[in-house]
Structure 1
């Protein structure tokens, strides 16, 4: 727990940690909101296709205009200011930048940016979980070969789950499950960008302010984001996805250890060692008592009777048997915490969560009956939701990953809740990503 001390020591020597940020949307804005309060933490450049919007984001999070007025990256380095550009490649080319934060949310662009940054010898903090779930294992392998860090973003739920899993292993407990809370009912599955605001308490004024993307929020609502994040966690922790996708059992704090244990032990899991979601709503829509909608959790088993007794003596929340316990973190602050990943990579050469194997995937699944010739519209759209399944199943089916399901044409009709395969669609673009995923099959963990 000494990142701040390590940073202070570097800053005292006049060697700040220099960063390039790609994407100045909601997550990027939160990163920037805190960056100005961390001495020795220098965002040298911000790349966004919409420079005007990026500057508006900086103003919204209370940056002084002169702080992001540098006319070049070289000027930004020499003066301690920030350069705003639409050219992400310039960040990779700058020798002073050591960490790239990829926060575009665009899976294909995210993969390409990560490859370019790794090729330039820079650490990568991948905020873009959509890219990570699609190609994370192969990107992690490329980064390791290049001697740089490829990391999940601290503050987002996957990295926090990885931290909890590491805690379980470090303590010598038996890991049973990892997951997060989420506001979900089965009927939410077929939400669209046209209906999504019905599921949130935002005012019309808040939505109109421009900080809320309907497709992004719809991906939270219909379960797509959950599938993406939980598949990424499975790849990072060597846990599995349920064989038929996430079950979303409702559970509050008091229920975690009882629910997230195997069916054979009275729980709801098909087996030990999987990821799933603790829904904050019952199937009929009632709110779950003590739900963990914004939190993350792990469940674990005592390895012997003595440890079981200690669970009881020290007030751990357990199931009725006392053998299974739970630990949780009640919140995550996404971009406000991402500096932890940046500093861990730059100062310790360690990721805050990284895909180790190809164990799970988030695959495109139809929201309705659609005819040949219709176009899929990707994550958070009208046509598909993502289902988290074991990678062995995804590979055997030749399933279309959700990250490649945007603006592709159906070659044949599909039915509601059908997993879309590569044979169902016309593959005309993004061949480099398909080739990368083909190579990633080497890392398939059977």
Structure 2
């Protein structure tokens, strides 16, 4: 049986539905379902996208219209095919039941439009506004897990170390078992401020596949983090197999930004955002209030130095993070090589140098190999790629 590699980003929001009504309030107005699918196919070069606002009735209606007009089709093994991209139907939900210390975001994925519709009907009775993204679910976390499994879905805690609205950020004191049934978790999403190497050593995460996704709130942010999955075809069933290592399917590599780029990498002063230890007055303003950093939180949770063998985690940044790679150069690269995945993964140095200056070509290859220099972020501010003396014609 021949297996192939596919690029997968499973956390993309919808900003507006096809009636131009908001779905994700903080999402870009151009972030519509149709635009997401076109961006994934024509510019990003993604093979599979998880859109996590498909519980909204208007989004389901747009999917059905794409099917009815033969622009898309439901796959026998789950998922919706649009040109060369497979759409996986997802929903991001906020849990805050009696066992939670704080709110937790989770991702729930379903194989068919019918199963997503059934899930949305169940949610409607347990949610104030079914039309919006990432809404508070009124019920127990375990009941939500049971419903997802009843409908043959995938249950994945989202950005699990982010200080706000995540499993380990505020949701639990020490263990996911305080809130969740650990046997009904399919995988965990690491989030922008952590990677495999940081997390290694937290024993209770050993059973789970690590996923890296963009959490995109705009078209440009799609595929800022993603994974390479070895599958027979890009379908829901094959994704399930890859997450659970069935019949040779697996996640081959995780691609994500260096955690130093994340907004919440270090603990900082809540008042002035200056890096500051937890139990000492801020050296800049004297405050004791803190925004807890992901690195420090992970260090608190670790029980061992080493856990298990995992796929390589390659530190990459989106092309527009590379210093001096501006909009005109980006357009030239797309015109020459088709998609971002081609540029980042497949194009040779010689081919790049035919389109951009040699120094910029070298920086693209440095990014490919995960070797860019990074200045750390924290307190809600992203880190940044350290600029080099790269020339480009922008």
TM-score over 0.5 (shorter chain)? no
Q: Which has the higher helix share?
A: 1
TM-score class, shorter:
0.3 to 0.5
Structure number, greater radius of gyration? 1
Q: State TM-score, norm by structure 1.
A: 0.29
